[in-house]
Structure 1
Amino acid sequence: MDEKEALILLNEWWKTGKVSEKLAKPYKRKAFEEAHRLLSSYRQILIITGLRRVGKTTLLYQLISHLLQKGIEAKNIIYFSFDVSSSEITKILEAYKTATGVDWKKSEIYLFLDEVQKLKNWSSQVKLIYDNFPNIRIIISGSASLQLEAQAINNLAGRYFIIELKPLSLLEYYELKYNKKIENFELYENELRSELENYLKKPFPEIVSWESEAEVKAYIKENIIAKITRGDLPDTFSNVNFSLLESMLNLFYSKPGMIISPDNLAKDFGVSKTTIENHIFYLEFGKLIRIVKNYRPNIKMESRKLKKVYPYDISLALAIANVEKAYIFETAVASASNAFHYWRMKKKEVDFVIKDKLIPVEVKTEKKINANELKHLQYFIKKYKAKKGIVVYDGEKEEKIDSITILPFLRFLVKRT
């Protein structure tokens, strides 16, 4: 299939004037409003990243549908996926001109590029278009967020906004599954609590209504994990050992929060330390794991050692491992708060530090919190002059002790969305 044929197939609205509901699904996630706002307000490139199957392509189609509803000419909106081919962008635009008769160099057009990480030197090509053709609005998406962010920083400085689309939040999960908009948490607290366990296992749009646990696990293992370890990563990097990747995942997912020791892992897996470090990077690159560093106020002081590893999302781990409740809570809190730091000093430790706001977070599975359990949190607050701290626990009542808020696990997940 050449570029012209692919474009005609992918851009149904050129003929119909609309995007089918199968592609632009009715339920709009919170990220839609942010993407729409940025697209409406600024010329900068909009970059949408995220794990596989979180709905990035659906978001692109929803934006296209919204543009059509606003009256944008259908043939002035282009969608292309590099899953189809890795053709250069200018070649795609020339094929678009041939197919539609629209002169892309002069007309006001919207260019949607999906799975852009599969295009070699994509950022240089996007920069060329952006700098020389102010008539073209560019929206791109990709699953390899580390690559997209690195190339954007290097080649597109000042030219882009980035949105990371994550697995569904608890509220989004419930709204999508039951087709109800939740405006007031208090009214739906019991309903959300009853869905919490299901939500943690399947926060992906396609499977919110699936009942079979075996099918949910198979979906996550085959359509997310295996697609990344056996497809995306080997396609992106050379010398990828997908068997090693999967063995490392089995270990990391069974013990969320473990300290990474490349030397010990190298001995355990019978490979070099460099190979282990590379494969840890690949797993992080593919959004399968989250690396959490030991917090220090000065980034130069952050220890390269004592890094912890968590699943990027707890659902990934639950698909392939038996995970203890405490680790489920920790991983879910890390994901909901987008935490990349914890804190350890001598015998004192705090589970997570939300660095941009300097909020220490402790995670407990107890039903009640004893004041003695707050000592490390209080020490951190005093030492670093933090304004507040948070304890997440398995109770139902929200409390406050001095500057520390004690939040039920359910409420924390809702408040962080």
Structure 2
Amino acid sequence: FDHPMLKLGGIDAVLAAWREREPRTEGIEYLFLDEAQFIRDWGTWVKHQIDFIKDRRIVFTGSATPLLEADQESGVGRWHAIRITTLSFYEYLHIKQLALPELPPLRSLRHLFDWTAPDFYRVTELAAPYTGHFHEYLVRGGFPQTAQIESVAQAQRLLREDIIDKVLKRDMTALFGVRRILDLEHTFLYLCMHDGGLLDMTDLCSNLQVKRPTAQHFIELLEATHLIYRLPPFGYGKDVLRARYKVYLADAAISSAVLLKGKNILDDPTALGVATETAVFRHLFARYYAQQVRFTYWRGKQEREVDVVAEVGGQIVPFEVKYRTQHTGVRELKGLMELCQQKNISRGYVVTKALDDFGLLAGTPEGINIMRLPAPLLCYWMGEAELYSNQE
């Protein structure tokens, strides 16, 4: 419903025209309406449809936050909201119809702690072809259109134009009344340059020459349109309110596409590590957000940090991303060890690069079990589990 003629005619006129072309049949009638945030008074219209037309089912897609916030009182008991993230690595491989060795299913990462050495070795051998496709996924992005375009440059151009022109310049103006589009675009570019890092509002305001309330408002809008995620620091109370947030882009490919980096990030270990960390968080979030998992980051003494901390069912599960060529040892995980000892955490994960950097980490303190897990495998299994958990 972002087409100008559909906007002008309205939904009832569109349905009347459709009814003239398609005769009514018996059974349930399904309506699929895209860009539904542009339908005028859509909440009232849906309420009327549900209350008076019992054989009709309606599926809306569009910018979720405006849809959910509008006419909330009308929607109680009438509709269900499902948040859809970008394609997982698992979905990306399937949409490209790639012929790859089949990996064993893994519904929960906890099951890895029950594996034997031959199990890890067998999966390492099977997963060899997945690494190259994972790197392609990081630069193409988790979008159906970009996944199926042959040229990476063309895929990134499409992604760049879709975000800048459609979301920032059109949706922000139409849905949120933003007028300072250039300042908003500059704010987003700043976040693309600092993906996966701590948000320094003072530095942002100084560089972009915008006032703090304006910058804060822009960041909240970018989060509302699901272009970014914000992670608070681990903990509760006033310390959290005063601390800085960590920011991830909604998809690992957004930064390289918007900043015109192309496939160059694959030759830059730092940029590749940031893109991998973004992809890892996206997969963890998509897999567990429906379970009301609280995601944070942890920062301890001597600037030691843990990238992502998941709190679910009274348990704390930390994830540290070490996407580099060297194998990971206890000495490289001082932040993770400190958090586990401080909070009596028995189980954690370190996300690695090499496929043979896979298995239980040796040399950890008693009572602490750390699983080394290659990023392509984590993203594959999280995507698979996300898909099948939604079907159950």
Q: CA deviation at 1:359?
A: 1.9
The CA deviation string for residues 224-274 of structure 1, in whole angstroms up to 9 with x for no partner, is 332111111111122332222222222211221232233442232222222
Amino acid at match of 1:319: A
Q: CA deviation at 1:131?
A: 3.5
Q: CA deviation at 1:386?
A: 4.5
Corresponding residue of 2:306: 350
The CA deviation string for residues 143-197 of structure 1, in whole angstroms up to 9 with x for no partner, is x223334448654234333333332222322232235487435475222112222
Q: CA deviation at 1:317?
A: 0.5
Alignment partner of 1:127 out of 19, 25, 47: 47
Corresponding residue of 1:239: 178
The CA deviation string for residues 75-134 of structure 1, in whole angstroms up to 9 with x for no partner, is xxxxxx45352355555555555555649xx97422222111112442333233223433
For 1:195 and 1:167, the matched residues in 2 are separated by 17
The TM-score normalised by the length of structure 1 is 0.70
Q: CA deviation at 1:365?
A: 2.3
Corresponding residue of 2:214: 275
Asked if residue 369 in structure 1 is aligned to residue 328 in structure 2, the reply is: yes
User: 5 Å matches for 1:57-206?
Assistant: 81-83=1-3, 84-86=5-7, 89-90=11-12, 92-97=14-19, 100=22, 102=24, 108-142=28-62, 144-151=63-70, 155-180=74-99, 183-184=102-103, 186=123, 189-203=127-141, 204-206=143-145
Q: Kindly indicate whether the alpha-carbon contact (under 8 Å) linking 2:233 and 2:245 is maintained by their aligned counterparts in 1.
A: yes
For 1:383 and 1:208, the matched residues in 2 are separated by 43
Cα gap change, 1:96 to 1:176, in 2 (>3 Å): closer
The TM-score normalised by the length of structure 2 is 0.74
For 2:168 and 2:309, the matched residues in 1 are separated by 30
SS in 1 for 2:232: strand
Cα gap change, 1:154 to 1:363, in 2 (>3 Å): farther
Q: Kindly indicate whether the alpha-carbon contact (under 8 Å) linking 2:187 and 2:215 is maintained by their aligned counterparts in 1.
A: no
For 2:148 and 2:16, the matched residues in 1 are separated by 42
Corresponding residue of 1:409: 375
Q: Kindly indicate whether the alpha-carbon contact (under 8 Å) linking 1:290 and 1:340 is maintained by their aligned counterparts in 2.
A: no
Q: CA deviation at 1:280?
A: 1.1
Of structures 1 and 2, the one with the larger relative CO (CA 8 A, separation 6+) is 2
Q: CA deviation at 1:209?
A: 4.2
Corresponding residue of 2:249: 311
SS in 2 for 1:112: strand
Asked if residue 327 in structure 1 is aligned to residue 274 in structure 2, the reply is: yes
SS in 2 for 1:341: strand
Corresponding residue of 1:215: 154
Cα gap change, 1:173 to 1:121, in 2 (>3 Å): same
The CA deviation string for residues 263-314 of structure 1, in whole angstroms up to 9 with x for no partner, is 4422322222221112112222232222221132x58874353112222111
SS in 2 for 1:220: helix
Q: CA deviation at 1:406?
A: 1.2
Cα gap change, 1:390 to 1:149, in 2 (>3 Å): farther
Corresponding residue of 1:400: 360
Q: CA deviation at 1:316?
A: 0.7
Q: Structure 1: give runs of 5+ residues left out of the alignment.
A: 1-80
For 1:230 and 1:279, the matched residues in 2 are separated by 13
Q: Kindly indicate whether the alpha-carbon contact (under 8 Å) linking 2:317 and 2:345 is maintained by their aligned counterparts in 1.
A: yes
Amino acid at match of 1:238: G
Q: CA deviation at 1:200?
A: 1.0
Cα gap change, 1:288 to 1:130, in 2 (>3 Å): same
For 2:226 and 2:243, the matched residues in 1 are separated by 21
For 2:330 and 2:35, the matched residues in 1 are separated by 50
Q: Kindly indicate whether the alpha-carbon contact (under 8 Å) linking 2:350 and 2:373 is maintained by their aligned counterparts in 1.
A: yes
For 1:159 and 1:382, the matched residues in 2 are separated by 47
Cα gap change, 1:359 to 1:232, in 2 (>3 Å): same
Q: CA deviation at 1:410?
A: 1.4
Corresponding residue of 2:339: 380
Corresponding residue of 2:188: 249
Amino acid at match of 2:228: I
The CA deviation string for residues 292-351 of structure 1, in whole angstroms up to 9 with x for no partner, is 21132x588743531122221111111133552221222111212128421224544211
Alignment partner of 1:336 out of 256, 280, 283: 283
Question: How high is the sequence identity, in percent, across the aligned residues?
Answer: 26
Cα gap change, 1:114 to 1:211, in 2 (>3 Å): closer
For 1:181 and 1:148, the matched residues in 2 are separated by 39
User: 5 Å matches for 1:5-24?
Assistant: none
For 1:377 and 1:89, the matched residues in 2 are separated by 54
**How many pairs are equivalent?**
333
Q: Kindly indicate whether the alpha-carbon contact (under 8 Å) linking 2:90 and 2:381 is maintained by their aligned counterparts in 1.
A: no
For 1:335 and 1:326, the matched residues in 2 are separated by 14
Q: Kindly indicate whether the alpha-carbon contact (under 8 Å) linking 1:225 and 1:316 is maintained by their aligned counterparts in 2.
A: no
Q: CA deviation at 1:139?
A: 1.2
Q: Kindly indicate whether the alpha-carbon contact (under 8 Å) linking 2:199 and 2:246 is maintained by their aligned counterparts in 1.
A: yes
Cα gap change, 1:246 to 1:352, in 2 (>3 Å): same
